[in-house]
Structure 1
Amino acid sequence: MSSHPSSSALALDIVLLRTFLSVVDLRGFAAAADRLALTPSAVSGHIKRLEESLGTRLLQRTTRQLDMTPAGETLYTYARNILDLEQEVRARLRGESSAGRLVIGASEDFAGTWLAQVLQVFRRGHPGIAIELRVGITTELLRQQAEGELDVVFGKRCARIEDDSELLWEEPLVWAFAEHTALPSDEPVPLSVFPEPCVYRESAINALAAADIDWRLAFESRSMAGCLAAAQAGFAVSPVAQSQLRHGLRAVDESEGLPPLATARFHAFTGKPTPMTRALVDAVREVGRRRRFASD
């Protein structure tokens, strides 16, 4: 494959770019085919045509995984911007830029860490959409969605469950504690956790029980900020997703006697998807990809 295509070959077909983004975002040809209502062979053909037009390979494919090449990484960023601009132009020409409303439910860790970046991406194509945010525990938010109160829920789980949710990314859970403070080794592990039901709390207690380590409930709060403050003060250790670590906190490693935790899985629950909820989920996925979180 030539690395120096002619200038005429560099014309970018927006259909091919859309296919490329879908393959990368969904991490597979079959999933992209379902999203785009195409056959897997048609998706493969789109990628081949795009690579030929650019004169470079964009994807590295093996039997187990799909990764972008350095050229693919570069194209991904530009392609996302191109499609966002196309979407915005279409919306403005249809007079849709100032209409619409979404009611979103999100767990506090998602809202506190990811939401600002997500909204920045989302507003490029939907600058006039009004958004109402409700923050809470995933189980409660899903109940509200079932009652028709929420359009989409962004929540977390620590186990693989077959349902209609869409896995966005995975990241490790860690034990968060004060950055320059040693964890007490001669007493039960002091825990800072959410009230039940909470997947992080459940993961921590199960891990400690499996390792036969004594623990005590030292701090309980419905606020992630509260739990992290207790950890930052050296008052208690808190199980959190790795992305929640901030200045003043560190991840306690196994050398200090704490067992490994489960993996946190962030999901989108869209119920009855609409173009707006789909666009919002895509914005979340883009933000997760920028942080190099995978959804395998």
Structure 2
Amino acid sequence: MTAILDIELVRTFHAVARIGKFSAAAEQLHKSPAAVSVHIQRLEAVAGGRLLNRDNQSVSLTALGKRLLLSTTELLSTHDRVLADLHGNHLAGRITLGVPDEYAAHVIRDILPTFAAAWPNVVLELKTAPSDSLRDQVQRGKLQAAVIAQARGQLTMQAQFLVATTPIWVGPANKSLASMDPLPLAVHAAQCPYRQAMVASLKQSGRRWRVVLDSPSNQAVSACVEAGLAISLIDRARVTESMQILVGLPVIPEHEVVFVRSPSSDGDEAVDLLSQAMQQHFRL
């Protein structure tokens, strides 16, 4: 009998792979952890092998899992576009969306084109700014929605969890800067939670620092680190070959990326659909 790839199983697998935890994926999918486990087991039976390495804290992809994730990404996008076409292009509207600089390229390149193709009559207007600034603009109704980073568990109105992220200290790959006094820092914009976490942790530990670069640009911060001028705090997933992870510095608590929306967007079908697209396709 020919095996059939169930789209619901694939969607569950993508959620677990993106979020990295069964419990958080189950919460996002509105399923029980047991149901998510069953979905993965059924998909592994079809795939012919283990897709995930699991421990008590998190999950990681096996070689087979990486292949399946890569080969089914476009499948999910195509499936959603077909459904949108079947339901017609009647939906129209305008969404003002905020995205931090560090996630802007991913959202613009990997998520919004599919959304725009499915809903061509929905006008998108984008703004990049630090997370705290975007949250404030959503709260004041200046933006309808935003993707923001925040400390894990921070209460935010109308927030939809997208993915957990672990901020880590990084320095240049071929140069040791972590023992310098004061520490040379490349810091993010004032309203970025990573800048706040950096400063608070160094103050608490009694370490001195000096600012080499103060920039709202994630690319500028990364370039400063890679050039050997400073150390900084970035998502673990964004460490490059020209960087090294630093030890001996204050441990930064886990953060999360969430999709927030203004109270005025309640019941807005276009924002609802954008929220779904972010949940399904956002990854670090």
Deviation, 1:159, is 4.9
Once the two structures are superposed, residues 138-157 of structure 1 have per-residue CA deviations (whole angstroms, 9 ceiling, x without a partner) of 11211111233334322223
* Change in 2 beyond 3 A, CA 1:216/1:36: closer
Who is 1:168 aligned against? 163
What is the SS of the residue equivalent to 2:5? coil
Counterpart check, 1:18 vs 2:11: yes
Deviation, 1:176, is 4.2
Q: Give the counterpart of 1:105 among 98, 103, 116.
A: 98
Alpha-carbon distance in 1 for matches of 2:72, 2:171 = 37
Counterpart check, 1:72 vs 2:72: no
Who is 2:198 aligned against? 204
Once the two structures are superposed, residues 77-117 of structure 1 have per-residue CA deviations (whole angstroms, 9 ceiling, x without a partner) of 333332221211222233329955432212222225x3454
Counterpart check, 1:119 vs 2:102: no
* Change in 2 beyond 3 A, CA 1:119/1:49: closer
* Change in 2 beyond 3 A, CA 1:238/1:135: same
Q: CA RMSD in A?
A: 4.0
Alpha-carbon distance in 1 for matches of 2:223, 2:45 = 53
Counterpart check, 1:147 vs 2:137: no
Structure 1, unmatched stretches of 5+, are: 1-7, 289-296
What is the SS of the residue equivalent to 2:190? coil
Counterpart check, 1:87 vs 2:80: yes
Counterpart check, 1:274 vs 2:264: no
Alpha-carbon distance in 2 for matches of 1:23, 1:227 = 30
What is the SS of the residue equivalent to 1:103? strand
Deviation, 1:205, is 2.5
Aligned-residue identity in percent: 26
By relative contact order (CA 8 Å, sep 6+), the higher-ranking structure is 2
Alpha-carbon distance in 1 for matches of 2:109, 2:243 = 23
* Change in 2 beyond 3 A, CA 1:138/1:214: same
Contact residue 121 and residue 283 of structure 1 kept, 8 A: no
Structure 2, unmatched stretches of 5+, are: none
Contact residue 169 and residue 267 of structure 1 kept, 8 A: yes
Contact residue 87 and residue 125 of structure 1 kept, 8 A: no
Q: Give the counterpart of 1:188 among 166, 175, 182.
A: 182
Alpha-carbon distance in 1 for matches of 2:179, 2:21 = 46
What is the SS of the residue equivalent to 1:259? coil
What is the SS of the residue equivalent to 2:206? coil
Alpha-carbon distance in 1 for matches of 2:224, 2:47 = 53
TM-score (norm 1): 0.69
